[in-house]
Structure 1
Amino acid sequence: MRKRNKSLLFFLCFLCLMMLPFIVKSGEKIKIKGLTQIPEGLHGYISFNHEPIAGEYGAGIGFYVAIWPLISEPLAGFQIGLPGTWILPDNSDNKTKPLCPEGTLARQWKPRGPTWGSVFQTIEGGAGYWAGNHFRYGPPKFSMNGTPQCYDYEVGSPGWSFFYSDDALPDDRLGIAQLSNRLLIPPDGITFEGYPEGEFLGYSWMALPFTDPETGDPPTGDQSWTCFLSAANFKGPIAFFIPETWSKIGKLFNYPFLYGRGLDTRPGVAGGGAIEINTVPRFEVKAPDGRVYAKLPKLQFSVDGQGRSILVQEVTYYSKAALYDAFKAWRDKGIFCSGQFDERGAVKPELSARPTRYDMVGREINGIEGESGYFETKVFEGNRWGLQWHSNIEGNMGMFPQYYIYDDVEGKYSPISESEVPPETGLAQQKFKLAGPGNPYVSPFSESKRPPSRPGLVQSKPKLEKPNQNYALPPINAWTSPGPVAGPFKAKLADGSVVTYYWYKFIDQPAFQQYHWSNEKKEKLQALVEKIQANWPIDRDYMAPPAFGQLVKIDPALIVTPPPGLETGYVPIVVRQESAKK
């Protein structure tokens, strides 16, 4: 009996030791070993549709999108695009033949067949957070993006891809020409001033005839898709895709079927817009009762006094009558064009909300959206699209549900409150990894070398690496030959990075050097750009102003003034972006 009591006492002591980590005093935090952050979390498209658009309205599309900090701190491994759209060349006449040649990346995506039209060429980008961002700072950024060759590569700025590499694109893959002489375009995206709270950024893509069509091999159309911005402190065109960016795929793959099928020639089509929830990390843990719980980062949406998140407004499609025709008449006949979009060539389709399917690693999430959920997608008066919140509003933010429980019978997740998560899981205490500064973006242009000189223009003296070092010309490439005329200059941005930039004559910027254009063609384009820069100020409304809300401000550090003697005909080209902290 005594032996049995000893055994029982030993067992009780052992049990107490095992339970000790879970026995805490009132108000004392539970200490739990950190869980592993998992890359795959929330996924889905919060989106809208619109009524069909007549074929003539394929020369442009634009809208105003709300800018707000979706996350309160910069997270690593996080990608969500704020509302945006995708522009494709209209190849609806082709029902069977592949647009993506064998050997391209997208051709491997069999469900996109038989034509692969949805992944042939696109203009994407917009405002958002991308996993490849090097310098995160809380608010979103704006970036252009184009996929000219079935996703073999992407073009996001006048020098770099869409955040995929520290290094600038190869010379023969540069595709965006800097147009504005007043705005820097960093490879990591355009930053905003302060902490936006739902103010709007307008942007439009307009197909404009900067050059004439070419009948050579490959034949090339005259559509230069040009990005216009509308912000409180900057309005106007910033850059355009060079038409050859889209046409050269046919010759490169010896596939003449593609001639005349790219965005240089075809009207652009888009089918609505969406918030693309792409890469959101999560924590997940199994509780002692065997149930699985998950945690997402805190996602927030700006709301107004009526519990609404107005996300998109003024969705507009344009025909050539909106700007293309007037622009061409100015180019060829000297008839002045203000650059303002003519509303007689515009149509605003009725929007409609589309229900969202949310999932976590492919498993559906129930209960987020709808009348009985936290919010529902809705089109409000004035043809504005957004979210109507039913609950989870904290101050001026609607909070996306953060905690979930998994039902292994139904195979679905459901949102729950933090108080419903068992404390012993330690889930509430888990912190998502923050993003630190990334590697610098670098180009072939070396800042320590003197750029080729230009008669009559004063260049700033470059910093020498060693005393008495001789100046030396950098290697010959698109960045150095013909090369810039002034620089280097630096600007410190709101995201804590510093950009280095030089001033190039417009036609001498890197993106054009891969093409063997005639002097006549180059001179004609140069003269047109000089007229634009001299006559289109940055405080004119090119897009019609929004009917609702205020405009966001672009980071003032990005707005520059040309040096004396370079007032027209020159553009600032970023050659490097790096953290301000050494």
Structure 2
Amino acid sequence: MQQKLQRVWEGLGGYISMDVPAPPEEFGYGVSLYANAWPLVERPLRDFQIGLASIWIVPENRKINEPLLPTGTVARDNWPERGPSYRDVFQTIEGGLGFWASTRFGSPTAKFRMNGTANGYNHEIASPGWGFGKLNALKPDELGIAQLSPRILVPPDGMTFQDGTCGELLGYAWMALPLTQAKSQTAGLPIPTGNQCWTLFLNATNFKGPVAFYTPVTWSRISRRHAPAVTRGLDARPGLVTGGAIEINTVPRFQSAEVGGAVYNKIPRLQFPVDKQGRTVLLHNLTHYSKDALYHQVERWLAGDGKAPSRFDDKASNTPPCKARPLVVRQGSEKLPMKGVEGWVETKAFDQSTFGLQWNESVLEPWTKTMRRGSFPEYTKKEGKTLTAITVSLVPDQTGLKTAQFEPARTGQVYSSPESSESVWKRPGAKAGPFEAKLADGSVVTYYWYRFIDQPSLQDADLSEAEKQRLQAVVEKIHAAWTEKKEYLPPPSTGTLATLDPALLVKPPRGLERGYVPIAVRQEAPR
């Protein structure tokens, strides 16, 4: 007789991670890496969130012990274990490749999403208009990402990949650039704001170069109400990165009634691309940079001295050795460690700069022309306080787990921006549009072309008219010199590059080739 199944939370939790030594402080002005993109699950699932291998950038404040966050912030009020300084949750740049419960348009292959917080997670900033997974656009004083590229669209639900992507590497970097000028006053207050514009660069087969940047005032805003934060944000401090990880956050689970004194569980099949050596490369060539890698080159170029730089200077880089952490995953409200996983897979540093998973050959199966498939244990058996990974052959038929199906992801919700004629989306407003792009996830993005300095995120960025015109001239110079076909990041020494969704690649209307950028205003299901 088949047992009744129960769908429960906490199907799986933990990290698949590696560490690198903290770099010397002078190498805190940029970081690049290559991360694997693939379909982690066979179809998009509801209530499922796993971030693929990515990094976490925080301002370098290791010598600070006083609270960098005021009371009234999420991190200060709710995470006392992060005290007394709260420096690891004060400000961050994170995001990367992954699958998120807040995704509104599910995609079999991972998406790439920017994300950051400037105020202890009071709100997050994930695109030029929206927070992480929020359907309504951010308020003007919460916006913080400025679209820089005139050649690629940044949708609020994340950047999609070409259909069939499986095991290719996306290169990306965050580089501090002096696109604005440092200021001794912010919003009329005697509070300095630095000039570091943390800029996202991508390296794919069909797009290379800068995409967008966080405006410096994004990081200094919190200083207006909390003196210990003055000069401690990412507008002025080096960035600190000490590792990379897959974060297993939200995974649904079926649990059977007790059978013979044991409880059996099932999670979705988590599938990984595996090469001929039985490896899944997760993260490759994590590299730190000093200001000599690009910052000083851009500084000289904008001052009229020298040619336009592009490729990051290898002589100003630091590639630390990576060290794999043991694989430990947990399940259930008791957070019981899953035993026996090593029979399937183990973490490993394949060389100084390549981290991933080494699979047991017995669990691999054919998948694509170039990759085999390794699957994480779907089933566990719980006896008392012991949780053990088991194969499907050891699951009793009467549990009903073998045929249980997880709910598909929900789609159809709309990302929208304000329609008011007084909003920052309308004043000064767009120059051309609307245009539409139909993405590989099935959604439709509506976008307009804005003069760079007129885009919504720059309307409350504490820029005078003179500063706006200077920044507009800087961007026009960048648009002329930094094309999508030049090389910027150092190339990977393993694997092949991923290809972004061709629908993300856009062409400026005639006359708007320089100094104008595409801004998404809406994302929805096809009408």
With the shorter chain as reference, the TM-score category is: over 0.9
Partner SS for 2:457: helix
> For residue 373 of structure 2, what is the aligned residue in structure 1?
397
Tell me, in whole angstroms, the C-alpha distance in 2 between the residues paired with 1:186 and 1:270. Answer: 26
| 8 Å Cα contact 1:86/1:273 also seen in 2 | yes
> For residue 397 of structure 2, what is the aligned residue in structure 1?
423
What is the CA deviation profile of residues 228-253 of structure 1, one whole-angstrom value per residue up to 9, with x for unaligned ones? 000000000000000000001010xx
> For residue 82 of structure 2, what is the aligned residue in structure 1?
112
Q: Does 1:237 align with 2:210?
A: yes
Tell me, in whole angstroms, the C-alpha distance in 2 between the residues paired with 1:240 and 1:547. Answer: 27
Tell me, in whole angstroms, the C-alpha distance in 2 between the residues paired with 1:484 and 1:214. Answer: 29
- For residues 42 and 513 of structure 1, do their structure 2 counterparts lie closer, same or farther at Cα, with a shift above 3 Å needed? same
| 8 Å Cα contact 2:263/2:382 also seen in 1 | yes
Q: Does 1:198 align with 2:170?
A: no
Tell me, in whole angstroms, the C-alpha distance in 2 between the residues paired with 1:93 and 1:363. Answer: 33
> For residue 70 of structure 2, what is the aligned residue in structure 1?
101
> For residue 49 of structure 1, what is the aligned residue in structure 2?
19
Q: Does 1:136 align with 2:136?
A: no
Using the TM superposition, give the Cα deviation of residue 287 of structure 1 relative to its aligned residue in structure 2, in angstroms.
3.3
Q: Does 1:261 align with 2:256?
A: no
Tell me, in whole angstroms, the C-alpha distance in 1 between the residues paired with 2:335 and 2:180. Answer: 50
> For residue 465 of structure 1, what is the aligned residue in structure 2?
none
Q: 1:547 aligns with which of 482, 486, 493?
A: 493
Tell me, in whole angstroms, the C-alpha distance in 2 between the residues paired with 1:289 and 1:394. Answer: 32
Tell me, in whole angstroms, the C-alpha distance in 1 between the residues paired with 2:98 and 2:393. Answer: 31
Letter in 1 for 2:164: Y
Using the TM superposition, give the Cα deviation of residue 345 of structure 1 relative to its aligned residue in structure 2, in angstroms.
0.7
Tell me, in whole angstroms, the C-alpha distance in 2 between the residues paired with 1:520 and 1:224. Answer: 18
> For residue 45 of structure 2, what is the aligned residue in structure 1?
75
Equivalences for residues 284-363 of structure 1 within 5 A: 284-361=255-332, 362-363=334-335
Q: Does 1:125 align with 2:95?
A: yes
| 8 Å Cα contact 1:124/1:144 also seen in 2 | yes
What is the CA deviation profile of residues 64-116 of structure 1, one whole-angstrom value per residue up to 9, with x for unaligned ones? 01111111111010000000010000111212x11111110101211111111
| 8 Å Cα contact 1:287/1:424 also seen in 2 | no
Tell me, in whole angstroms, the C-alpha distance in 1 between the residues paired with 2:11 and 2:38. Answer: 22
Query: Structure 2 regions of 5+ residues with no counterpart?
Result: 367-371
Using the TM superposition, give the Cα deviation of residue 197 of structure 1 relative to its aligned residue in structure 2, in angstroms.
1.6
Q: Does 1:384 align with 2:359?
A: no
Letter in 2 for 1:246: W
Q: 2:468 aligns with which of 517, 522, 542?
A: 522
Tell me, in whole angstroms, the C-alpha distance in 1 between the residues paired with 2:341 and 2:298. Answer: 45
> For residue 410 of structure 2, what is the aligned residue in structure 1?
436
- For residues 353 and 565 of structure 1, do their structure 2 counterparts lie closer, same or farther at Cα, with a shift above 3 Å needed? same
Partner SS for 1:171: coil
Using the TM superposition, give the Cα deviation of residue 154 of structure 1 relative to its aligned residue in structure 2, in angstroms.
0.2
Using the TM superposition, give the Cα deviation of residue 369 of structure 1 relative to its aligned residue in structure 2, in angstroms.
4.2
RMSD (Å) for aligned C-alpha atoms: 1.3
What is the CA deviation profile of residues 140-186 of structure 1, one whole-angstrom value per residue up to 9, with x for unaligned ones? 100000111000000000000011x2100111100000000000000
Letter in 2 for 1:231: A
| 8 Å Cα contact 1:357/1:364 also seen in 2 | no
TM-score, normalised on structure 1?
A: 0.87
Partner SS for 2:27: coil
Tell me, in whole angstroms, the C-alpha distance in 2 between the residues paired with 1:346 and 1:233. Answer: 25
Letter in 2 for 1:138: P
Tell me, in whole angstroms, the C-alpha distance in 2 between the residues paired with 1:516 and 1:246. Answer: 12
| 8 Å Cα contact 2:52/2:247 also seen in 1 | yes
Tell me, in whole angstroms, the C-alpha distance in 1 between the residues paired with 2:3 and 2:331. Answer: 24
Q: 1:92 aligns with which of 62, 77, 80?
A: 62
Tell me, in whole angstroms, the C-alpha distance in 2 between the residues paired with 1:412 and 1:337. Answer: 61
| 8 Å Cα contact 2:202/2:211 also seen in 1 | yes
> For residue 493 of structure 1, what is the aligned residue in structure 2?
439
| 8 Å Cα contact 1:39/1:77 also seen in 2 | no
Letter in 1 for 2:15: Y
The alignment-based identity, stated in percent, is: 48
Partner SS for 1:37: strand
Larger relative contact order (CA 8 Å, sep ≥ 6): 2
Using the TM superposition, give the Cα deviation of residue 560 of structure 1 relative to its aligned residue in structure 2, in angstroms.
0.4
Q: How many residues align?
A: 515
Deviates more, 1:358-367 or 1:44-53: 358-367
> For residue 367 of structure 1, what is the aligned residue in structure 2?
339
Letter in 2 for 1:187: P
| 8 Å Cα contact 1:363/1:412 also seen in 2 | no
> For residue 228 of structure 1, what is the aligned residue in structure 2?
201
| 8 Å Cα contact 2:5/2:399 also seen in 1 | no
Tell me, in whole angstroms, the C-alpha distance in 1 between the residues paired with 2:3 and 2:383. Answer: 25
Using the TM superposition, give the Cα deviation of residue 526 of structure 1 relative to its aligned residue in structure 2, in angstroms.
0.4
Tell me, in whole angstroms, the C-alpha distance in 2 between the residues paired with 1:85 and 1:197. Answer: 21
| 8 Å Cα contact 1:47/1:273 also seen in 2 | yes
- For residues 377 and 363 of structure 1, do their structure 2 counterparts lie closer, same or farther at Cα, with a shift above 3 Å needed? same
Equivalences for residues 7-26 of structure 1 within 5 A: 22=1
Structure showing greater Rg: 1
> For residue 250 of structure 1, what is the aligned residue in structure 2?
223
Tell me, in whole angstroms, the C-alpha distance in 2 between the residues paired with 1:516 and 1:295. Answer: 52
- For residues 49 and 132 of structure 1, do their structure 2 counterparts lie closer, same or farther at Cα, with a shift above 3 Å needed? same
Using the TM superposition, give the Cα deviation of residue 34 of structure 1 relative to its aligned residue in structure 2, in angstroms.
6.3
Using the TM superposition, give the Cα deviation of residue 35 of structure 1 relative to its aligned residue in structure 2, in angstroms.
2.8
> For residue 464 of structure 1, what is the aligned residue in structure 2?
none
> For residue 369 of structure 2, what is the aligned residue in structure 1?
none
> For residue 19 of structure 1, what is the aligned residue in structure 2?
none
Letter in 1 for 2:337: I
Tell me, in whole angstroms, the C-alpha distance in 2 between the residues paired with 1:518 and 1:310. Answer: 47
Q: 1:187 aligns with which of 135, 156, 172?
A: 156
| 8 Å Cα contact 1:247/1:264 also seen in 2 | yes
Partner SS for 2:487: coil
- For residues 515 and 378 of structure 1, do their structure 2 counterparts lie closer, same or farther at Cα, with a shift above 3 Å needed? closer
Letter in 2 for 1:364: L
Deviates more, 1:79-88 or 1:386-395: 386-395
TM-score, normalised on structure 2?
A: 0.96
Tell me, in whole angstroms, the C-alpha distance in 2 between the residues paired with 1:125 and 1:382. Answer: 24
Using the TM superposition, give the Cα deviation of residue 420 of structure 1 relative to its aligned residue in structure 2, in angstroms.
0.9
What is the CA deviation profile of residues 247-305 of structure 1, one whole-angstrom value per residue up to 9, with x for unaligned ones? 01010xx2222110000000000110000000000000123423100000000110001
> For residue 283 of structure 1, what is the aligned residue in structure 2?
254
Tell me, in whole angstroms, the C-alpha distance in 1 between the residues paired with 2:512 and 2:3. Answer: 60
| 8 Å Cα contact 1:502/1:575 also seen in 2 | yes
Partner SS for 2:8: coil
Tell me, in whole angstroms, the C-alpha distance in 1 between the residues paired with 2:338 and 2:260. Answer: 22
> For residue 140 of structure 2, what is the aligned residue in structure 1?
171
| 8 Å Cα contact 2:301/2:309 also seen in 1 | no
